[in-house]
C-alpha cells in the first residue's frame, strides 16, 4: 500500500459500539483558544528516574486532558506519543440515532457524558486532538481536524474541559487523508496520519506560535515554518516492540491507546523497511521455538521470559543490532535461538540480551550480555562517527537530526572563538556537532554512563576541544563562573518537563550572550522562555523541526539573545 494519504470519506472509522440513546446538542458560543497536554520524549543518554516524564506542565488558565496511555518507557516515549485516539472507535450516527432537534444548554456545565454535541474545530491540540468550544468550555475530540464541524459523543466532563469521541464529520477538511496504517487509531504510535503532511506542518507551526503567544504575551514572534521531510515515512531507525502471546499466536507491537494490550504491528509505515523486516523475522523465530514471552508461565519451570524486542538499523552503516530484553538469562533453547537469529538476520553485527527482572515502565535493565557478535554497532551523523551499545541513546530520525543540529548551530551564532556549554548533553551529540565551530565546548550530564559514551565519541572523532562532565548544570555553572570561566553560549535540550528552576536561575546569573533552547514540548518551552524574557533576554529566532512525521510531536529550536548586546 502506498504511504501517501488518500482522501477520506465523510464518516469516522468505526467499530460496533453505538449509543442510539445519546442526545444531540449543537455547540453555541465560543471561547479563547487555549489548550494543554503532554507528549513524550527520550533525550538523554540512558533513561533514569526523574530525567524524563510522561507528563508535562499544563496551562495555569486551562488544563486539557493529559495522555493516559500506559506506554513502555525508553524509546517508546518519543516514538509513540499518546493522547487521544487518532481516529474514532465509535460508529457514525444515522438520523435515527441523533435524537431529533438539537438541545441547547444555557451552560456547558449542564452537558453530561453520553450526550452528542456538534462542535466546530478551531485548531489541533498538543496531542493531535481537535479542539473546539461549547459555551466557552474547551472540547477535545480525537481524530477531528481544524475547520471541521463534527458530531461527537461526550465521554468525560471536567471543570475546565470536555472530552468527546468523534461520531460523524458534518463538514470535512480538505486536508483530511486516509491513513495507510491498518492499525491506526488503535496503536498508540501515530496521531496525525489522517491529516495531509502539508497540514501537519502547518498545525505544528501554529501549535508552537500559540504556546509562545499564550505564555509570553507577545503577538509578534519570529516563528518560521516547520522544517519537514521530503519523504515523511520509513524514517525511524529503531523499533522497540512489546511481546504477548494470545491463543498460541505471538504478537509484537505497541500498547493499544489507553491499555496494556499489545497491538500487533507488521509493516509500520514510519519505520525503516529493514527495521520492519528484521522485527518480523525475529518474531517468526521466537514463535517457531516457542520462546516464552511476558505474561506466560515459563518462569515456573525456572525459565525466564522475553519482554521486548529492540532492533536498531544504521542508515549510514547499514548495520543491524538486535537486543532481547528478558526477565533473566535462563532462556530456553538459548543456543538454538542465537543460531536461528543469525541465519534469519545475516546483516546483524551483534545479538544482545538485556536483563530487566523488574515489572517497571523502564524497558531496559542495568545489565546487558552479548550473546553473539560485536558489543556495539557503528553509525554516523554528518561527519561524526559513533559506536552504539544496545542501551546507548541515538536520534531516531538521523536525517532530520542533521537539520535540527544545524539550526542549533545557527542559533548559537558561532564564529570560532566562543566557549559553549551544553547543559543537558546526554551522549554528547549536540556538543560534538558544535565543537568544530567553537573554541571550546563543555557538556554537562547527570548520568555517568552517558558521559563516558560522550567522551569516547569525542576521542573517536578527534575533537579535543570537547569535554564532558558528570553533574548538574545548576551546580557546575556557578562553580565555573566563580573560577572565571563564563560561557558565551549555553545550549539546553532538557527532558520534556522543561528546565529546572535552579538551572534557570543559574543561567540568569551566568548571563551568556546567547541561549539556545531545544524542546519537544511547546508548553514547557514557552513557560521557560517567559522566565528568560523577564530576566533580560529576547527571542531572536524560533524554528520548529518535524522530527517525527505522522505524530503530534514537534521539536523547536529557539535562539535567545541578551537585550543589552
Annotated binding site for S-adenosyl-L-methionine: 395, 424, 445, 493
SS3 100: coil
What CA–CA distance (Å, rounded) separates 504 from 499? Answer: 7
Asked if residues 526 and 85 have their Cβ atoms less than 8 Å apart, the reply is no
Q: Return the bridge partners of 196, or none.
A: none
Q: How far is CA 294 from CA 169, 224, 298, 304, 421, in A?
A: 40, 46, 9, 9, 43
Among residues 181, 187, 268, 520, the one annotated as catalytic is: 520
The grid cell for 402 is 542533521
Longest dimension (CA), the chain: 77
Look up residue 504 and give its DSSP letter: H
Asked if residues 211 and 205 have their Cβ atoms less than 8 Å apart, the reply is no
SS3 315: coil
SS3 for 43-65 is CCCCCCCCCCCCCCCCCCCCCCC
Active site residue 190: no
Asked if residues 36 and 215 have their Cβ atoms less than 8 Å apart, the reply is no
What CA–CA distance (Å, rounded) separates 91 from 168? Answer: 8
Q: Give DSSP secondary structure letters for 243-296.
A: EEEETTEEEEEEEBTTSSPEEE-SS-TTB-HHHHHHHHHHHHHHHHTT--BTTS
Terminal Cα distance for the chain, rounded = 55
What is the side-by-side strand order in the sheet with 306-313? 262-264, 249-255, 238-246, 306-313, 320-326, 348-355, 367-373
Q: Measuring CA to CA, which residue among 443, 320, 435 is closest to residue 382?
A: 435
**Backbone phi and psi for residue 311, each to the nearest 5 degrees, phi listed first:** -125, 130
What CA–CA distance (Å, rounded) separates 121 from 61? Answer: 20
What CA–CA distance (Å, rounded) separates 508 from 218? Answer: 21
What CA–CA distance (Å, rounded) separates 526 from 180? Answer: 34
Asked if residues 424 and 393 have their Cβ atoms less than 8 Å apart, the reply is no
Q: How far is CA 89 from CA 16, 114, 218, 314, in A?
A: 8, 15, 39, 37
Q: How far is CA 500 from CA 37, 47, 109, 244, in A?
A: 19, 17, 37, 38
E-strand ranges in 288-396 read 306-313, 320-326, 348-355, 367-373, 377-381, 384-388
The grid cell for 400 is 532530520
Q: Which residues belong to the active site?
A: 520
Amino acid at each position: 500500500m502506498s504511504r501517501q494519504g488518500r482522501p477520506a470519506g465523510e464518516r469516522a472509522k468505526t467499530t460496533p459500539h453505538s449509543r442510539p440513546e445519546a442526545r444531540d446538542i449543537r455547540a453555541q458560543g465560543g471561547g479563547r483558544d487555549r489548550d494543554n497536554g503532554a507528549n513524550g520524549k527520550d533525550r538523554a543518554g540512558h533513561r533514569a528516574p526523574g530525567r524524563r516524564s510522561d507528563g508535562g506542565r499544563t496551562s495555569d488558565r486551562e488544563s486539557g486532558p493529559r495522555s493516559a496511555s500506559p506506554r513502555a518507557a525508553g524509546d517508546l516515549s518519543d516514538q509513540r506519543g499518546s493522547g487521544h485516539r487518532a481516529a474514532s472507535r465509535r460508529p457514525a450516527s444515522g438520523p435515527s440515532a441523533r435524537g431529533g432537534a438539537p438541545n441547547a444548554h444555557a451552560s456547558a456545565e449542564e452537558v453530561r457524558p453520553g450526550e452528542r454535541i456538534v462542535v466546530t474545530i478551531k485548531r489541533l491540540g498538543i496531542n493531535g486532538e481537535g479542539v473546539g468550544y461549547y459555551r466557552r468550555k474547551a472540547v477535545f475530540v480525537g481524530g477531528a481536524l481544524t475547520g471541521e464541524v463534527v458530531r461527537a459523543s461526550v465521554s468525560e466532563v471536567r471543570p475546565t474541559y470536555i472530552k468527546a469521541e468523534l461520531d460523524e464529520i458534518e463538514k470535512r477538511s480538505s486536508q483530511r487523508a486516509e491513513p495507510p496504517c491498518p492499525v491506526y487509531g488503535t496503536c498508540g504510535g501515530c496521531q496525525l496520519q489522517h491529516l495531509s503532511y502539508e497540514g501537519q506542518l502547518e498545525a505544528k507551526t501554529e501549535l508552537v506560535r500559540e504556546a509562545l503567544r499564550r505564555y509570553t504575551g507577545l503577538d509578534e514572534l519570529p516563528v518560521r515554518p516547520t522544517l519537514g521531510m521530503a519523504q515523511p515515512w520509513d524514517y525511524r531507525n529503531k523499533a522497540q516492540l512489546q511481546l504477548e502471546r494470545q491463543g498460541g499466536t505471538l504478537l509484537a507491537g505497541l500498547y493499544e491507546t489507553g491499555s496494556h494490550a499489545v497491538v500487533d504491528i507488521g509493516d509500520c509505515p514510519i519505520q525503516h523497511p529493514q527495521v520492519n523486516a528484521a522485527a518480523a523475522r525475529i518474531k517468526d523465530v521466537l514463535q517457531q521455538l516457542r520462546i516464552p514471552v511476558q505474561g506466560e508461565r515459563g518462569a515456573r519451570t525456572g525459565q525466564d521470559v522475553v519482554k521486548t524486542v529492540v532492533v536498531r538499523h544504521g542508515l549510514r552503516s547499514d548495520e543491524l543490532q538486535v537486543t532481547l530484553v528478558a526477565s533473566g538469562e535462563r532462556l530456553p533453547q538459548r543456543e538454538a535461538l542465537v543460531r536461528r537469529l543469525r541465519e534469519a538476520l545475516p546483516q546483524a553485527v551483534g545479538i544482545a540480551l538485556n536483563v530487566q527482572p523488574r515489572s517497571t515502565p523502564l524497558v531496559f535493565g542495568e545489565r546487558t550480555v552479548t550473546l553473539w557478535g560485536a558489543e556495539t554497532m557503528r553509525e554516523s551523523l554528518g561527519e561524526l562517527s559513533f559506536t552504539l551499545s544496545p542501551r546507548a541513546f541515538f536520534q531516531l530520525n538521523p536525517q532530520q537530526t542533521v537539520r535540527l543540529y544545524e539550526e542549533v548551530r545557527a542559533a548559537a551564532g558561532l564564529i570560532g572563538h566562543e566557549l559553549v556549554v551544553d547543559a543537558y548533553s546526554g551522549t554528547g551529540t549536540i556538543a560534538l556537532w558544535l565543537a568544530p565551530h567553537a573554541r571550546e565546548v563543555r557538556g554537562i550530564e547527570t548520568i555517568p554512563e552517558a558521559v563516558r559514551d560522550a567522551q569516547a565519541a569525542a576521542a573517536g572523532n578527534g575533537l579535543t576541544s570537547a569535554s564532558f562532565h558528570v553533574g548538574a548544570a545548576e551546580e557546575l555553572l556557578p562553580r565555573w563562573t566563580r573560577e572565571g570561566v563564563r560561557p558565551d553560549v549555553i545550549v539546553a535540550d532538557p527532558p520534556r518537563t522543561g528546565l529546572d528552576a535552579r538551572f534557570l536561575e543559574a543561567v540568569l546569573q551566568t548571563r551568556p550572550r546567547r541561549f539556545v533552547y531545544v524542546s519537544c514540548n511547546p508548553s514547557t518551552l514557552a513557560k521557560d522562555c517567559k522566565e528568560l524574557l523577564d530576566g533580560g533576554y529576547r527571542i531572536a529566532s524560533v524554528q520548529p523541526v518535524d522530527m517525527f512525521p505522522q505524530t503530534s510531536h514537534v521539536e523547536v529550536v529557539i535562539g535567545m539573545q541578551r537585550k543589552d548586546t
